[in-house]
Amino acid sequence: MARTTQHRPTSRDDFEIAIVCALTLEFDAVCALFDEIWDEDYGRTWGDANIYTNGRIGKFNVVLLKLSDMGKVSAAIASAHLRSSYSSLSLVLLTGICGGVPFPGAGKEILLGDVVVSRHIVQYDLGRQYPEGFETKDTVEDRFGRAPPNIRHLLSMLETIRARERAEELTAGYLLKLQQMTARKPGGIRYDYPGASQDIVFDSSYRHKRRFFKSLSCKEVGCDFKNVKSRERIQTKQELEKRGETEKAQAPSLFVGTIGSADTVMKSAEKRDRIARAHSIIAFEMEGAGLWETPCVVVKAVCDYADSHKNKEWQNFAAATAASATKALLDFYPQRDALRRSAPI
């Protein structure tokens, strides 16, 4: 994995990219895709409680941070310290796993393992509670500000067919490399593709059969699989698997859109769909609202469908696809001129 193609940075001012993870499994997947990890202690400012991992991914010096806790408050505090210690950052990537909206509209299908990239963030638990119900704040002033130009250009490019297909190709390649590399380590983390037959989404009105046994799988509690929704992309992946083309079957698709962020774990398909329709949301997560003004791009892979049937079976694979997509996006992101790195964009 390690190779040296450029001089190591001499100070924190030489770091342009940060990657933030909330969970250990997310952090481990990103670490595995670093080209180099350095043992040097680059320090931190007074009052900064974060612990950083420093290294290189491709052409960039990267600082990696694992949050102490989940949620937007932990993310916001860690983000403030990060910006204080690493003042030359131009891009922060929040990488990890999330709950996806299986049918986000316009005939699209989001599958487990697919990667979502944030164009906007909606903090859907911020609003007003009226007697007749909760109303999310949704005026222009309530929304998060626009991303800076460098991020808007990156996201605009990713929405083109050529760039998106290239990003998906790179992501699939890095994913395969990660799987092969970790498979050689005895007792290590495995990032195997669970298989299209394990990618199941139920009708939104059908709930997990026994709500007091939420940790048990649908098969264990006897959920009625007659309520499973048919999807064209799943059928395509199953055909690829039958032909022995697992590498093609596991290749994730990439979606750019609005991501819902809140301190609440979404486990209701009906509420998921209602909020998704109201705000054109394609996925749900818990840290993006705390990092959005860093400036930040959320890069997360779908590990469940944010419903009562959610389980942890796809988490490792999703963490791997998110890490792989993060590395692919850095291939696209242009490096700043060295003389200008002291002034963040």
pLDDT of res. 1: 43
Query: Thinking of the domain 12-337, which architecture would CATH place it in?
Result: 3-Layer(aba) Sandwich (3.40)
pLDDT of res. 180: 94
pLDDT of res. 338: 61
How many whole angstroms separate alpha carbon 157 and alpha carbon 146?
16
Per-residue pLDDT for the chain (345 aa), expressed as one digit of tens each?
444 446 789 999 999 999 999 999 999 999 999 999 998 889 999 999 999 999 999 999 999 999 999 999 999 999 999 999 999 999 999 999 999 999 999 899 999 999 999 999 999 877 665 656 566 665 433 455 677 889 999 999 999 999 999 999 999 999 999 999 998 888 789 999 999 999 999 888 878 776 655 567 777 677 878 888 999 999 999 999 999 999 999 999 999 999 999 988 899 999 999 999 999 999 999 999 899 878 899 999 999 998 888 889 999 999 999 999 999 999 999 887 664 444 444
Question: Where exactly are the structural domains of the chain?
Answer: 12-337
**Whole-prediction pTM value?**
0.90
pLDDT of res. 214: 58
pLDDT of res. 129: 58
